Structure 1
Amino acid sequence: MVRYAKEHKQVTRQRIIDKAGQRFKQDGIDGSGISTLMSDAGLTNGAFYAHFASKDDLVAHVVADQLRTQVAVYDTLRPGRQGLEDLIRQYLSPEHRDHPGTGCPSAALLDEIGRCGDETKQAYMEGAQDILEELAARLTPEDPQSARGKAVGLYTMMVGTLQLSRALSDRKCADQILEQGIENGLAYIR
């Protein structure tokens, strides 16, 4: 029996989390079976339980990882409100709408997360709080807590706008929804 180094196990586990994150956002949590997730990661089904206790355990880890990754991207934005403008434009872009597998986990999975167990909801709550803190700090750097409500409004507007645009079959109408969302978001942060 071949023993792998601890680092190999961690790298493999992260690969499963990364691939599952893409698959969940593309096909949904319920639409993604363990065999498909493991195949995406280049592994056999039997390897799954060496890394996760259950699919619910994987989902919680994926949600936490996806939200951490989203917050890390905010560090690449310009400082302050300028960065928020960039974020609004990027988030409400046709490219983001058309590629849910590489985008925001909230817009892709929020309805399913609401039906998940407490571990996943807790992971989502912690990640969402980090996002809201980042938005609030950009809105009012001198007193982020005072902008918490405004951060909630901005984030929910962006997520809802993206979800609505994705749900429409008329491409022109879907694009108009995104454009109006950008306009609303920019007005909101001024």
Structure 2
Amino acid sequence: MRVSRAQMEENHCAILDAASRLFRDRGFEAVSVSEVMKAAGFTHGGFYGHFRSKDDLVAQALSHALEVHPLAPQSPDSSSLDLDAIIDRYLSPRHRDNAAGGCPTACLAAETRHQPLAAKRALTEGLRHQLESLGQASPEAEAEDKRRAAMGRWSAMVGAVILARAVDDPALSDDILEQTREWLHQDLHQSLPQSLFQVLPSETDT
């Protein structure tokens, strides 16, 4: 029975969803094509109707995961992003403990350096969009300051999650998240324009 174009696209997306979750949970090399197809509800034989190779699957799954991440470029209005809320969600035990459903950058950036060029390009493009969204939402006045702040904050957030997942000491893992979270909130609010705050009269004015 011939499958419609719309059904093919739906099946393709289902495979990418399954692959991106498995890759984030276990890494590229530890997941086979057969496992991906089974998780998506299809047989191994249908794989080559969608992808040229596993390398092609890796690149597309990485790009797909980065596009649906909360900091993706299709955010309706990046300038309205609540950076405090993003920091809290990202640097939370819940995110740390849910690699399969979490940020692909924190899960897969280190592994991508060993992948072919297509996967590196997908990560690069996704990273550019994430930084652009963070930069647009940043309170700094100048474009270069926004870009610098976005890079610093995103690097701190991703690095903290990687470290929190890597250590075998639960208390240290929690502390990495908490201290980085507090440091970022402090940095963010130090950067807010003073006009956003209500200036209280001094004692000499009363």
Global fold match (TM > 0.5): yes
Structure 2 residue 98 is the aligned partner of structure 1 residue 99: yes
TM-score, length basis structure 1: 0.92
SS of residue in 2 equivalent to 1:152: helix
Report the RMSD for the aligned CA atoms in angstroms.
2.0
Instruction: Specify the alignment match of 1:130 in structure 2.
Output: 129
Instruction: Specify the alignment match of 2:118 in structure 1.
Output: 119
TM-fit CA distance, 1:146 = 3.6
Segments of 5+ residues of structure 1 without an aligned counterpart are: none
Contact 1:166 1:174 in 2 (8 A): yes
**How many Å separate the matches in 2 of 1:88 and 1:76?**
19
TM-score, length basis structure 2: 0.85
Segments of 5+ residues of structure 2 without an aligned counterpart are: 190-206
Contact 1:21 1:66 in 2 (8 A): yes
Instruction: Specify the alignment match of 1:59 in structure 2.
Output: 58
**How many Å separate the matches in 2 of 1:188 and 1:45?**
49
TM-fit CA distance, 1:133 = 0.3
Residue deviations 1:73-111, cap 9 Å, x none?
Answer: 98489964x711100110000000001000000111111
SS of residue in 1 equivalent to 2:168: coil
Instruction: Specify the alignment match of 1:170 in structure 2.
Output: 169
**How many Å separate the matches in 2 of 1:132 and 1:69?**
15
Contact 1:136 1:145 in 2 (8 A): no
**How many Å separate the matches in 2 of 1:79 and 1:151?**
13
Distance 1:173 1:142, change over 3 A: closer
Contact 1:77 1:86 in 2 (8 A): no
Distance 1:127 1:85, change over 3 A: same
SS of residue in 1 equivalent to 2:115: coil
TM-fit CA distance, 1:148 = 0.8
Contact 1:137 1:143 in 2 (8 A): no
Task: Extract structure 1 runs of 4+ deviating beyond 2 A.
Answer: 71-80, 140-146
SS of residue in 2 equivalent to 1:63: helix
Residue deviations 1:21-73, cap 9 Å, x none?
Answer: 10000011111010111110111111111000011111111111111111349
Percent of counterpart pairs with the same letter? 34
SS of residue in 2 equivalent to 1:52: coil
SS of residue in 1 equivalent to 2:51: coil
Aligned residues between the structures: 188
Contact 1:91 1:158 in 2 (8 A): yes
**How many Å separate the matches in 2 of 1:174 and 1:185?**
17
Answer with 1 or 2: which has the greater Rg.
Answer: 2
